[in-house]
Amino acid sequence: MALHAIRRAGSVRRRKTEEERQGTRDHLLEAAGHTFAQKGFEGTTAKEICERAGTNTAAVNYYFGGIEALYSAVMEEARNRIFSVREIELAIVGKTAPEAKLEAAINVVIKSLLGPVSSSWALQVFGRDMVTVSPTAHAAKLKLMLPGASILRELVGDLMGLPQDHPSVARGCITLMAPICILILGDRRIMKRALPSLGLAAEDAPALARHMVDYALAGLQAVARKAEAAHS
């Protein structure tokens, strides 16, 4: 009986240690996200991140294997907070019409971009990485971007009635991505001053998403008709 109790106590201690390790890792990730957003990769040191997280100065190497691997983890976390591929997949599951899939996907993205994430480190660090040279390895960037690109390519191809490898599909993807990139990169204060009636608050998300869907559908369908006429 006593031996069983000792084993149980040891098991509890091991679980607590694992929880603490995960907690420290998450804390480092959060501290790194804030620091990278403010200073960029080149202006940030592992020591600074550890100090901000209140951990041992060797914690970055211990938990992530180095600051570059930590940066990659931060970028993946930022992407998931901004537009989780899994959340988009869940939003479009069960929908057969490509128009309904597009509306569901854009609603997920715009709701996120106009929500709390708009003032978070996730959006800042993701936007900074889009316009500056970063240490993220090519393979890591592909891991971040390809799943979403695959969904987008399939969706635009279905909307236009064209093969996914058609040049018009690729151009259509760029057209859809452009306003989303503006919401990621643009200074919201300037946008509000320049376009005061635009509406960039959380409650404006449904109207903005609806506009983007209507605009995208009209444009994609017009281009598809031209592409069809050119080959008829």
For residues 207 and 96, membership in a common domain is answered with: yes
Are 51 and 86 part of one and the same domain? Answer: no
At residue 146, the pLDDT reads 79
**Together in a domain, 143 and 214:** yes
Assess whether 22 and 133 both reside in one domain: no
- 3-class DSSP state of 94: coil
30/187 Cα distance (integer angstroms): 23
Residue 11 resides in a domain: yes
The model's confidence at residue 44, banded by pLDDT at 50, 70 and 90, is: very high
Instruction: Tell me whether residue 72 is in a domain.
Output: no
Q: 224 with 164, same domain? A: yes
Helix (H, G, I), strand (E, B) or coil at 57: coil
Are both 183 and 224 inside the same structural domain? Answer: yes
Kindly state whether residues 105 and 169 are assigned to the same domain.
yes
Out of 65, 88, 118, a domain closes at: 65
Contacts made by residues 215-219, CB under 8 angstroms, sequence distance 24+: 216/102, 216/106, 216/175, 216/176, 217/99, 217/102, 217/159, 219/172, 219/175
More confident residue, 99 or 142: 99
71 within a domain of the structure (yes/no)? no
> 142 lies in a domain?
yes
DSSP of 98-164, one letter per residue?
HHHHHHHHHHHHHHHHTSGGGGSHHHHHHHHHHHS-----HHHHHHHHHHHHHHHHHHHHHHHTS-T
Structure tokens given for 119: 């003032």
**What are 113-157's pLDDT values in tens digits?**
999 999 999 999 988 888 876 666 566 667 767 777 888 899 999
Q: What is the CATH number of the domain that holds 176?
A: 1.10.357
Are residue 47 and residue 109 in the same domain, yes or no?
no
Average pLDDT over residues 196-221: 95
- Domain match, 58 and 86 both: no
CATH of the domain at 46: 1.10.10.60
Q: Are both 35 and 82 inside the same structural domain?
A: no
Indicate whether 55 and 159 sit together in one domain: no
Residue 104 lies in a domain: yes
Q: What are phi and psi of 145, to 5 degrees?
A: -95, -35
Q: Is the pLDDT of residue 94 over 70?
A: yes
Domain of 50, in residue numbers: 2-65
Domain annotation covers residue 70: no
